[in-house]
A and B are shown apart, each in its own frame.
Chain A
Amino acid sequence: MKFVKLKLKNFKPYYDKQDTQKEIILFDEERKDKNITLNIGPTGHGKTSISEAILWCVFGDLYYKDWEDLVNTLSIEVTKQKKENEVNTSVELVLEIEGEHYRVIRSGSYDIRNGQKMGESELFILHNGEPISDSIWFIGNHFPTLTLMKYFIFDADDILKKFEENREGTIKDHINKIVGVEKLNETINSLEKVMGLYNEESREIESGIHGDIADKIKEKEVDKAKKEDAITQLGGEIQDLRKEKQRLFKASPSSEVIKFSELVDKRDELEKKTLELNKRFKESNIISDMDLLLLDCVIGDVLKKLNQKQTTKEEFESSSTVIKSSLGENYSGIFFGKKKNTHLIKKGARIWDEDLADLEKLSLGSGEGIKIPAIETFKDYEEKANKQKETFGKYEKDFDTTMKELLKVKNEIKQIGDTTKNKELKEGYKKFRKLEKQIVGKKNLQEEIKEEIEEIEKDIKELRNQLKRDEEQEKEIEQIEEKKKETQILLYISKKTREKFLDDLLASVNRTASESLRSTVKDTDRFHSIEIDSNYKFKVKQKNGKVLEEGQINKGNLQISMMSFFFGLSKYLRKKIPYVIDDPLLRLDPGHDKRLIEQLSKTNDQLIFHLIPGKEYTTDSFKWLKPYINIQNWLYREKYRGLELVSYVESKDVEKIVYFDIDKF
C-alpha cells in the first residue's frame, strides 16, 4: 500500500482557499524505486497534522471523537464574516493498493454556533470514479485497528522517550496491544469473575439447603400418628361416658328433676355469692368505722348546735383587747364583710348604720374556747360518715337483694319438696351433667387435636416442598459445577492462548528485531541479537550468547535496539502499510540514523518522514537520504490576507538540498 496524495480542506492549519488548496503529494509514482517521502518543516508548521489527517480520514470520529481543534480557525472566522453557520471539513487520501487507486474521502460539517460537529463524519471511497459499496469493510480489510495503526503512524521521539522512561512497562504495553493480550486479559478477568459468581451462587444455594428435612418429616409423622391414636382413644372414652349417662337416666331426666337441680344450683350459687360479698366486706376496711353510721346524725346535731352558739361577754372583751392593741393609734376598729374580706376602720371614720347591718358579727369561739377545733373535727367525721354510709349502703343493698333472691329460691325448693328422692335424683342429675360436661370436654379435646394434626399436615407438606426444593437446588449446584468446569477449561485455554501468542510474538519480534539490529549497528558481534523474555525484560545479546549489561550499551545503541524492537512489532502485524513517522532522527546518534534509514529502506515499505530542518534535515543527512527520497515536501506557514497563519505544502526537487533560512521560520 502507498499513500499517494492527500488533500486537506479546513483541517487544522490547512485552510481551503475556495477549494484551491493544493494536493500534498506523498508518493511520486514516477520514482517508484525510491520509498522515502520527506515532509520538512519546523515545529508548528503542520507536520503532525498530516499524520492526524490520515488517521481521521481512515478512522473518522473514532480517532477524532469531539473534533477539538479539528476545524481550521480561519475558516470559522471567514464563515462568521459571511454570516454563515456551517464549515465543511474534509480529508481526501489517495491510496495505491496492488496497482489500483482508491480515493478515501472523509468529510463532516461543523456548527460554529455551538462549536460542535453536525452529526457523524461521512466516509466515501471511490474506485475508478465509482463509490465502493462497503467502505467500512474496505477499511477493515486493508488497515489494522486504530490501536495497532499507531505502530505505523507515530512519533519516534515520543516512542523513544517512553522507552527510556519505563522500558519494561512500555514493552509490556506494546506487546499486549499487538498480541491482543489486553483482550485476552479482559476475557480471563471476565471468566474469573464468572467463576467467582458461580462460587457465590452455589454457596448461596447451599446455605438454603436444609439437610435434616427428611428427619423432620419423620418426626412430624410420628407426632401425627400419636395424635391420631389420642383421638381414637378419646372416642372410646366418650362412648364409655355415654353408656354411663344412659345407666343414670335411660331417657333424658324429667323436667321436675331438671328444675329441682337448677334451683339447688341457684341456691348454691347465691350462697356462694353471699359468702363472697361478706369476704369483700370484711376485707374492705369499713368495719372499723361502722360506729360512724350511727354517729352521723349525732355529729350533724352537734355541728348545728355549735354553729348557733353565741360568744360570751368575757370572750368578746378579751378578744377585743387583743385586737385593739394590734390596731394601734391610727385605726379604731375591724370588721368582716360578707365576702369574708377584712377592713380596718380609720380613727374618725364614720360607718353608716346600713353598712353595719351588712357586717357579720365577730365570733371568737365557744365558752370552752374550742368551738373552732370541734367544728373542724365534726366536719371531718361528718364527711367520713357520709362516705361510710354510701359504701355500706351499697354492700347492704347488694346483700339484701341476694338474700331476698336466696329466700325465694329456698322457698321454691321447699315447694317442690326437698325429699330424699329428689335429693337422690338431684345427685343423679348432677352426675349426669358432669358426664355431659366430660363428654363435651373430650370432644373439644378431639377437635383441638384434629386442628393440631392439620397443622402438622401443613408442616409436613411444607417440609416435603422444601425437600423437593432442596433436591432441585442440589441439581442446580450440580449444573453450576458443570458450568464451573467449562469455565475453568475456557480459563485454561485463554491463559494458554495468551502464553502461546506471547511466545509466538516474542519469537517473531526477537528475530526481526535482531535482524534489524545487526543491519544497523557496526559491531554485530557485540550487538548480535535482541531478546524480550516472557517477563518483558529487554536484553541485548552478544554473538556468544552473553547478555550485555546495562552499562555496556551506550545510549545510541540502546535507541537503535529499541527502534529495532518497535519495527519488529509492526512487522509482526504483517500489514503492508506505509510508515508515517514524526521526528525519526531526532534522538538517534549520528551514524545510527543513517544505518537505521538504510535498513528500513530495504524493506521497500513506503516511509513518510516528518523532519525538522536544521535538526534532522541537514546537509549531512540529505547526503545519505538522497538515494532513497521519493518526494521532498516543504511545509510553510504564512498569514492569509494578513489575517491568520495557515499552512501550505510545496514539493521541491528531490535531487537538491533546500537551503532554508532558520530565522525565516
Chain B
Amino acid sequence: MPYELFEGKGNVRKPRLKKDQEFFDRAKKKLGFPEELDLVTFCAAVALYKEHIGESLDKKDNLSLKEMAKMYSFKKRKLYDFIILNRLEVRENRLEEFEKYFYAGFEILKEWFEQYGPDVTSEIERFCGILDYIIGSSLDD
C-alpha cells in the first residue's frame, strides 16, 4: 500500500480571517520565527502537548484557512503525519486533523499573548513564558 504524507495533499494553510491573520503575523514576529511554518508547527505542538497531558482541546471543524506554503517545503511533515497516524490513529484526512490541532494551539497562544504578551519584551522571555503557561512548570521538572 503506497504511503503518502497527509494523503498527498498539496498545501499547508494558515488562518484566513483578518483578525487571525494579524495575530498570526504579530506572533511570528514577536516570537522571532524565521518562517510562517515554524509558527504553524509550534501551534500544532502546543495543542498536541495539551492533549497528551490529558487536557481537553477545543478542536474546531470548518476552519477558515488559506494556502500558505507547498507541502514539499514543510520539512517536518513526516513527523506530524506520523504523530497523527500513530499517536492519534487517524487514518483518513490527516492534514485536516493537523490543521485542527494547529488552530487549537493558535488559540492557546492567542490567550497567552492577550494575558501576558504586553509585559514581555524579548523573544526568549516570551518562549519561557509560553512554555511555563503550557507546561505549567519549568522544562527541567
Interface residues of A (CB under 8 A from B): 274-275, 277-278, 281-282, 287-288, 290-295, 297-299, 301-302, 305-306, 366, 368-370, 373-374, 377-378, 381, 389, 392-393, 395-396, 399-400, 403
B15 CB → nearest A CB, Å: 18
Given contacts A298-B52, A393-B140, 8 further A-B contacts (CB under 8 A): A288-B33, A291-B38, A291-B76, A298-B87, A299-B79, A302-B86, A374-B82, A396-B139
> What would be 19 A-B contacts, judged by CB atoms less than 8 Å apart?
A275-B122, A278-B122, A287-B123, A288-B35, A291-B38, A293-B45, A298-B52, A299-B79, A302-B83, A302-B87, A369-B1, A370-B3, A381-B76, A381-B79, A392-B139, A395-B124, A396-B124, A396-B138, A399-B128
B57 sits at the interface (CB 8 A): no
List B65-120 residues whose CB lies under 8 Å from chain A: 76, 78-79, 82-83, 85-87, 91
A301 CB contact (under 8 Å) in B33, B45, B52: B52
B48 sits at the interface (CB 8 A): yes
B134 proximity list for chain A (CB < 8 A): 294
A404 CB → nearest B CB, Å: 12
B87 CB contact (under 8 Å) in A281, A305, A370: A305
B23 sits at the interface (CB 8 A): no
B86 CB → nearest A CB, Å: 5
B128 proximity list for chain A (CB < 8 A): 396, 399-400
Name, among B42, B82, B122, the residue most crowded by chain A CB atoms within 10 Å (CB to CB): B82
Contact between chains at B139 and A293 (CB < 8 Å) = yes
B139 proximity list for chain A (CB < 8 A): 293, 389, 392-393, 396
B63 sits at the interface (CB 8 A): no
Known: A274-B122, A297-B52. A287 touches B138 (CB 8 A): no
Contact with A along B30-74 (1 / 0, CB 8 A): 011111001001101110110011000000000000000000000
Contact between chains at B45 and A295 (CB < 8 Å) = yes
B123 CB → nearest A CB, Å: 6
B124 proximity list for chain A (CB < 8 A): 277-278, 281, 395-396, 399
B131 CB → nearest A CB, Å: 7
A373 proximity list for chain B (CB < 8 A): 3
7 pairs of A and B residues whose beta carbons are closest in the complex: A291-B45, A294-B49, A294-B45, A278-B122, A291-B41, A302-B87, A281-B124
A287 CB contact (under 8 Å) in B32, B45, B79, B87: B32
Q: Chain B: interface residue count, which band? A: 35 or more
A489 CB → nearest B CB, Å: 97
Q: Which residue of A lies closest to B140 (CB)?
A: A393
B46 CB → nearest A CB, Å: 6
A288 proximity list for chain B (CB < 8 A): 33-35, 38
Q: Which residue of B lies closest to A390 (CB)?
A: B139
* Chain A-chain B contacts (Cβ-Cβ < 8 Å), number: 107
Contact between chains at A377 and B82 (CB < 8 Å) = yes
Known: A278-B124, A374-B82. A298 touches B49 (CB 8 A): yes
B33 proximity list for chain A (CB < 8 A): 287-288
Contact between chains at A287 and B83 (CB < 8 Å) = no
A374 proximity list for chain B (CB < 8 A): 82, 85-86
B122 proximity list for chain A (CB < 8 A): 274-275, 278
Contact between chains at B123 and A282 (CB < 8 Å) = yes
Contact between chains at A287 and B3 (CB < 8 Å) = no
Contact between chains at B52 and A287 (CB < 8 Å) = no
Bound-state CA distance A389–B33 (Å) is 17
Known: A287-B32, A369-B3, A396-B138. A377 touches B78 (CB 8 A): yes
Contact between chains at B138 and A278 (CB < 8 Å) = no
B22 sits at the interface (CB 8 A): no
B125 sits at the interface (CB 8 A): yes
A306 proximity list for chain B (CB < 8 A): 86
Contact with A along B5-38 (1 / 0, CB 8 A): 0000000000000000000000000011111001
Q: Which residue of A lies closest to B41 (CB)?
A: A291
Bound-state CA distance A599–B13 (Å) is 146
Contact between chains at B86 and A287 (CB < 8 Å) = no
Contact between chains at A292 and B32 (CB < 8 Å) = no
Bound-state CA distance A291–B48 (Å) is 10
B7 CB → nearest A CB, Å: 13
Contact between chains at B83 and A298 (CB < 8 Å) = yes
B85 proximity list for chain A (CB < 8 A): 368, 370, 374
A293 CB contact (under 8 Å) in B76, B78, B91, B131: B131
Bound-state CA distance A301–B89 (Å) is 13
Bound-state CA distance A377–B84 (Å) is 13
A299 CB → nearest B CB, Å: 8
Q: Which residue of A lies closest to B132 (CB)?
A: A396
Bound-state CA distance A227–B34 (Å) is 56
Contact between chains at B125 and A399 (CB < 8 Å) = yes
Known: A302-B87, A368-B3, A369-B3. A291 touches B82 (CB 8 A): no
A385 CB → nearest B CB, Å: 10
B78 proximity list for chain A (CB < 8 A): 377
Q: Which residue of B lies closest to A366 (CB)?
A: B86
A460 CB → nearest B CB, Å: 60
Name, among A277, A298, A392, the residue most crowded by chain B CB atoms within 10 Å (CB to CB): A298
Bound-state CA distance A389–B141 (Å) is 12
Bound-state CA distance A282–B139 (Å) is 19
Q: Which residue of A lies closest to B85 (CB)?
A: A368
A421 CB → nearest B CB, Å: 29
Contact between chains at B87 and A301 (CB < 8 Å) = yes
Bound-state CA distance A294–B128 (Å) is 12
Contact between chains at B35 and A295 (CB < 8 Å) = no
Bound-state CA distance A277–B125 (Å) is 10
Known: A274-B122, A277-B124, A278-B124. A291 touches B83 (CB 8 A): no
Contact between chains at B32 and A282 (CB < 8 Å) = yes
Contact between chains at A378 and B82 (CB < 8 Å) = yes
B34 proximity list for chain A (CB < 8 A): 287-288
Name, among A282, A290, A369, the residue most crowded by chain B CB atoms within 10 Å (CB to CB): A290
B48 proximity list for chain A (CB < 8 A): 294-295, 298
A277 proximity list for chain B (CB < 8 A): 124
A291 CB contact (under 8 Å) in B32, B44, B123, B138: B44
